[in-house]
Amino acid sequence: MSVLVGRKAPSFTAPAVVNGEEIVSDFTLDNFIGKNHVLLFFYPKDFTFVCPSELHAFQAKLGKFEARGVKVVACSTDTEESHWGWLQVPKEKGGIQGVTYPIVADTTKTITESYGIMAGEYDIDDEGNTIATGPMIAYRGLFLIDKEGIVMHQLVNNLPLGRNVDEALRMVDALQFFEENGEVCPANWTKGDDGMTASFDGVADYLATH
């Protein structure tokens, strides 16, 4: 597993389902470079249990991300046909009908591998057979990417642990506050709070008043 913070987000072109219904063959994050921040999140598998709760939670807050100029993109190692099928299933039956942000199909598993969040790896057993040491699906990785394509925040949860969408929004706010004001965000910072200058005097002034 690798840390991508501070580095260029790995580029890819892959099939995806967009707008909840249309399959495209050449979806890429490169279209957003110079225009938008991107929140790219990976989930383990279609037609599972924690995953639909996360996809619906991101959809419920999609307007807030879009108001901040952030593109939300999901990805798993399932096929685009599997994504499309799951999108046809109503929420009350465990489906993700109503999700409109792009869902990328990483069927080759190269995207998951390039982001360093593969649950397992390939190995060779004593008989020379290729074996998998895990389920070979994505951990619950989340990457906040700035307009220049640089990863600014990274979070990886193990398979049973769902993510907090409000925390993802908070990190977007923190990044944009820094970009707009040049001030850094202290512990537990939320939108509307004071930032502080990255200096010993700035730290002292902040701690004296908080």
For residue 157, give the H/E element and its range. strand 151-157
Considering the domain architecture, whether residues 126 and 144 belong to the same structural domain is answered as yes
Residue 153 maps to a domain: yes
Averaged pLDDT of the chain: 94
Q: What percent of the chain has pLDDT over 70?
A: 96
Give me 45's structure tokens: 């598998």
Domains in the chain: how many in total? 2
For position 210, what pLDDT does the model report? 78
Max Cα-Cα span within the chain: 66
Residue 3 maps to a domain: no
For position 203, what pLDDT does the model report? 64
Considering the domain architecture, whether residues 140 and 200 belong to the same structural domain is answered as no
**Model pLDDT for residues 57-100, shown as the tens digit of each residue:** 999 999 999 999 999 999 999 999 999 999 999 999 999 999 99
Residues 11, 149: Cα–Cα separation, whole Å: 9
For residue 39, give the H/E element and its range. strand 37-42
Residues 205, 199: Cα–Cα separation, whole Å: 10
Q: What is the mean pLDDT of the segment spanning 131-139?
A: 94
- Which of these, 107, 113, 43, lies nearest to 74 by C-alpha position? 43
Burial (Cβ within 10 Å: 0-12, 13-18, ≥19) of residue 24: middle
For the chain, what is the radius of gyration of the CA atoms? 19
pLDDT of 207 strictly over 90: no
Considering the domain architecture, whether residues 153 and 203 belong to the same structural domain is answered as no
Q: What is the mean pLDDT of the segment spanning 53-58?
A: 98
Considering the domain architecture, whether residues 105 and 18 belong to the same structural domain is answered as yes
Q: Model confidence at 206, in pLDDT bands (50, 70, 90)?
A: low
Query: Could you tell me how many helices (H) and strands (E) the chain has, helices first?
Result: 6, 11
Residue 122 maps to a domain: yes
pLDDT of 199 strictly over 80: no
Considering the domain architecture, whether residues 169 and 150 belong to the same structural domain is answered as no
**Model pLDDT for residues 21-33, shown as the tens digit of each residue:** 999 999 999 999 9
Residue 108 maps to a domain: yes
SS3 category, 140: strand
Considering the domain architecture, whether residues 99 and 182 belong to the same structural domain is answered as no
Residue 2 maps to a domain: no
Residue 83 maps to a domain: yes
Considering the domain architecture, whether residues 131 and 191 belong to the same structural domain is answered as no
Considering the domain architecture, whether residues 93 and 172 belong to the same structural domain is answered as no
For position 1, what pLDDT does the model report? 59
Give 184's strand partners. 196
Q: What is the mean pLDDT of the segment spanning 175-198?
A: 93
**HSE on the CB side for 26, CA within 13 Å?**
2
Among 5-19, 74-88, 149-163, 180-194, which stretch is predicted with the lowest mean pLDDT? 180-194
Q: Model confidence at 122, in pLDDT bands (50, 70, 90)?
A: confident
Range of the domain at 50: 13-163
- Which of these, 134, 144, 72, 126, lies nearest to 109 by C-alpha position? 134
Given 4, 17, 51, 151, the catalytic residue = 51
Give the type of residue at 26: D
Respond yes or no: is residue 51 known to be catalytic: yes
